[in-house]
Structure 1
Amino acid sequence: MALRIRSYLPRSLYGRAALILVAPIVIIQLLVSVAFIQRHYEGVTEQMTESLVYELQLVRELHLSGQRDRAQQVADRLGLKMSPAGSQTLDESPAFLDFSGRVIQRILKEGLPDVVGVDVNSRHRAVLLRAGPPGDQIDILIERRRLSASNPHQLLVLMVFAGLLLGIIAYVFLRNQLRPIKKLADASEAFGRGQILPYRPRGAEEVRAAGAAFLQMRARIERQIEQRTLMLSGVSHDLRTPLTRLRLELSMLDPGPEVEAMEADLAEMDRMISGFLDYARGDAAEEAVLTNPLTLLQEITTRARRMGLKVELLPLSVAGAVPEVWLRPDAITRAVENLMNNAARYGDLIEISLSWTTRKLIISIQDDGPGIPPEQHELAMKPFARLDPSRNANDGSNTGLGLAIVAEIAISHGGALQLGKSLRLGGLRADITLAR
């Protein structure tokens, strides 16, 4: 039951705050309408109708005693319009919301024993009372304001107007308080995707403190990224310089098995260094740009085919135009190529598909290789992990960083890397989920 109720509640902060604001106002108005308006006006109607019953009894007694002229004079003096009963039928069904009309009918019928009918509906702002024995019936027209409080709807209109006015004022105030929180959330989410949005702390003291802390954190992270980029550039240069000298020295030696083995070792060291640097560098140095993912995948597929890979880009399974998203093209290219190279190493056919929802974008790479056991999926995405030799899902340099690099790239885009079994090809299925 609680889950059902929760599914109908608003999910956004604006919606929940509006619900907290509007619900008490509506409840109070309903309570006032039921407890005050209905009961109060019914009580007032009872008192006013009971007072008028005595005047009607006097007029009826004079009329029944034969003093009809006297009864007419008294009725005129009392503001009652008395006339012989007409032939029209009385409408004794009050309107649905005419609570006071039901009270008027009940009191008049209880106070006057010879009442034939009480029409509270067919006369505008008047009540038609028909009373008397057969053959001597009279109609008495009574102004409605003498039987019930006038204009009871004015209080309802005033309540609704006051509620709307207070609701508008509260909404404006609430929006001004929630807008800084929304801007802080947008700036934080954008920074997680590699975008730097201009942000200035505003709002209440607590929100300003959170905004200032975010700016300080963002500045520290930017400094660390810049320092790491500079350090990695220096490390890359310092490590590859001696490797280049070694290659040059080996090239000057006479060819032989020992020289070939040493050159293979140097090539493996170069691949290992590239893998380490790619993992450490990530995609921090690249800025996110608005990109069409389908166009990017088409370019990746074309390059892979030129390299001899059997890659197929499947048709779109989602109707509509492909949405452009903020991402780092080089990083996504590196991630997709890592997965394709891994798939080509252990299988023959590779299929790439693109799908999306309102909140995320999914790039799927499938192959017809042996796959990875489900119990090793989490291990495969950890840095420097080693899997079963029959299928080492990481980079060919055997550094254990291939899937780890892809996972880091997906996380930096507000998404994740998910591994599973390909239902189409029977091998591995890797889904790169990116936040839109």
Structure 2
Amino acid sequence: MSFQWLTNYLPRGIYARAALIMVLPVVFVQAVVSFVFVKEHYEDVTRQMTITASREVRLVLSVFANADEATDIATEAAPIIGPLAMSLRRAEVGAAEETDQKYWYDFTGITITEWLHIQVPEVTAVDLSNDRVVRLILDTEAGWIELLFDRRRVSASAPHQLLVNMVFFGVLITIVAFIYMRNQLRPIKRLANAAEAFGRGNVIPYTPSGATEVRAAGTAFVDMRTRIERQIETRTLMLSGVSHDLRTPLTRMRLALSMLDDEDRIPLERDVDDMQGMIDAFLSFAKGESEAEPEDTDPIALAAGLVANAQRGGQPVTMGEIEGTGTVTLRVAAMKRALDNLIANAVRYGQRAEVSVRLSETSLRFRVEDEGQGIPEDMRADAQRPFVRLDQSRNQDRGSGVGLGLAIATDIARAHGGVLRLGRSETLGGLRADIVIAR
């Protein structure tokens, strides 16, 4: 039998789930013990005590076997009610209409009332509204009689003490367990925070601690983070070094080309410019996540500034729908580079671009759309890989490129803990590129 549906009603956090696992058994055990104790102990003890008290009541009633309403009941019963510590008097008018009374929480009162009626048929009403006294209304040969005796003769004096102690110590143990559990879960939360921060491109101090298993997981994370940082550093140094070394021969080529005639020089300079653009793309890709520290930024102002810069450069870029207000923590230079690449691709392959921003309580979305041919769904994942050029879907004659524009945008989105999603634009018909970042 599958209990998958139960997960919809369980807490999401490990702390809440651990608390639930710990509290539920305590509550269940206390409920079972309380029920068994009340049912098997208090009920049996109360029944035995009530039967004994009923015999004493019948002894008192035996005095009035041959009495009538004119009998002095106090005098007749005095030799018996004195030793039994009971009090007796004639009932007031309306006693025949009285009914059983008790408090709703008086669980022993049910047994007392039931057995008094069984053992003493003359009892017409049992009044337990006074916690210390049992008041009986009896229909006898001598008329309606009111009989009172101590409540402790039919039930324990403090039947709630055990339950109070159980609840008190149960709560105390639960609090102690919560404190201990919180100390045990703190290293897991520190590990989760360090992993989440590293996924967003931040490196925060972290030292493995806690139980052996948590320490092992923390140590594995630190080793993994170190290897990834080393790989990123190696990639950055390699691409930066190659790109830097290529600048020198390009500079010499520019100087040599300046001595040629225009007819020969212009095509060659165009090739040199293309090579320079490739080198700049390599450097941008090499920078990757090594940008400035994140800062609070207005994403709408950031996108509007990029659109304004593109329009000043003569590019057909417009601002689309804007939704929401507020600030988000971003690496401004990196995010500008990602959006610039998306806008440049949209203009190159789709004639014009439209930029929109949506900011909600849970996420930030930058959207860039164009009028081009778009990218087939089965090729969108490849389009985000470095150095991949989709000749069949994008018109490569409209500009040069090395296949790093979407890869750089993807890296920057991941560095912010987000994702780059490609799709079909519903408004312009071309490619739709969304950078979605959780807040």
User: Do the aligned partners of 1:91 and 1:120 also contact (CA within 8 Å) in 2?
Assistant: no
Question: For 2:225, which of 214, 218, 221 is the aligned residue?
Answer: 218
Q: Does 1:106 align with 2:106?
A: no
Q: Does 1:267 align with 2:273?
A: yes
For 1:389 and 1:371, the matched residues in 2 are separated by 11
For 1:53 and 1:393, the matched residues in 2 are separated by 105
Q: Normalising by the residue count of structure 1, what TM-score does the alignment of the two structures yield? A: 0.90
In the other structure, the counterpart of 2:41 is 40
User: Do the aligned partners of 1:193 and 1:288 also contact (CA within 8 Å) in 2?
Assistant: no
Task: Report deviation, 1:4.
Answer: 4.1
Q: Does 1:322 align with 2:330?
A: no
Q: Note the 1:4-403 alignment, pairs <5 A.
A: 4-66=5-67, 68=73, 69-89=75-95, 90-121=98-129, 123-133=130-140, 136-256=143-263, 258-318=264-324, 321-325=325-329, 327-389=330-392, 391-392=394-395, 396-403=399-406
The one-letter code sitting in structure 1 at the alignment partner of 2:43 is: E
User: Do the aligned partners of 2:315 and 2:347 also contact (CA within 8 Å) in 1?
Assistant: yes
Task: Report deviation, 1:406.
Answer: 1.3
Task: Report deviation, 1:58.
Answer: 0.8
Task: Report deviation, 1:400.
Answer: 2.1
Identity of aligned residues (%): 47
SS of alignment partner, residue 86 of structure 1? coil
User: Unaligned 5+ residue runs, structure 1?
Assistant: none
Identify which range, 161-170 or 202-211, moves more after superposition. Answer: 202-211
The one-letter code sitting in structure 1 at the alignment partner of 2:61 is: R
Task: Report deviation, 1:389.
Answer: 4.3
Task: Provide Cα deviations, 1:349-408, integer angstroms capped at 9, x if missing partner.
Answer: 432222244443221112233333333322322333333546349994232222122112
For 1:223 and 1:371, the matched residues in 2 are separated by 36
For 2:227 and 2:281, the matched residues in 1 are separated by 26
Q: 1:20 to 1:396 in 2, by over 3 A?
A: farther
For 1:223 and 1:380, the matched residues in 2 are separated by 26
User: Do the aligned partners of 2:365 and 2:437 also contact (CA within 8 Å) in 1?
Assistant: yes
For the aligned residue pairs, the C-alpha RMSD in angstroms reads 2.5
Task: Report deviation, 1:341.
Answer: 1.1
Task: Report deviation, 1:315.
Answer: 5.0
Question: For 1:426, which of 418, 422, 429 is the aligned residue?
Answer: 429
In the other structure, the counterpart of 1:407 is 410
For 2:169 and 2:396, the matched residues in 1 are separated by 67
The one-letter code sitting in structure 2 at the alignment partner of 1:200 is: T
For 1:108 and 1:394, the matched residues in 2 are separated by 104
Task: Report deviation, 1:182.
Answer: 0.8
User: Do the aligned partners of 1:46 and 1:104 also contact (CA within 8 Å) in 2?
Assistant: yes
SS of alignment partner, residue 371 of structure 1? coil
Q: 1:402 to 1:393 in 2, by over 3 A?
A: farther
SS of alignment partner, residue 92 of structure 1? coil
User: Do the aligned partners of 2:425 and 2:431 also contact (CA within 8 Å) in 1?
Assistant: yes
SS of alignment partner, residue 63 of structure 2? helix
Task: Provide Cα deviations, 1:130-170, integer angstroms capped at 9, x if missing partner.
Answer: 12336622111122211112222222211111111111111
Identify which range, 340-349 or 14-23, moves more after superposition. Answer: 340-349
Q: 1:394 to 1:330 in 2, by over 3 A?
A: farther
SS of alignment partner, residue 262 of structure 2? coil
SS of alignment partner, residue 128 of structure 1? strand
User: Do the aligned partners of 1:394 and 1:403 also contact (CA within 8 Å) in 2?
Assistant: no
Q: 1:265 to 1:311 in 2, by over 3 A?
A: closer
Q: 1:395 to 1:157 in 2, by over 3 A?
A: farther
Q: Normalising by the residue count of structure 2, what TM-score does the alignment of the two structures yield? A: 0.90
In the other structure, the counterpart of 1:417 is 420
User: Do the aligned partners of 2:101 and 2:126 also contact (CA within 8 Å) in 1?
Assistant: no
For 1:399 and 1:354, the matched residues in 2 are separated by 28
Paired positions, count: 431
For 2:312 and 2:203, the matched residues in 1 are separated by 37
User: Do the aligned partners of 2:281 and 2:404 also contact (CA within 8 Å) in 1?
Assistant: yes
SS of alignment partner, residue 77 of structure 1? coil
For 1:13 and 1:351, the matched residues in 2 are separated by 43
For 2:25 and 2:44, the matched residues in 1 are separated by 27
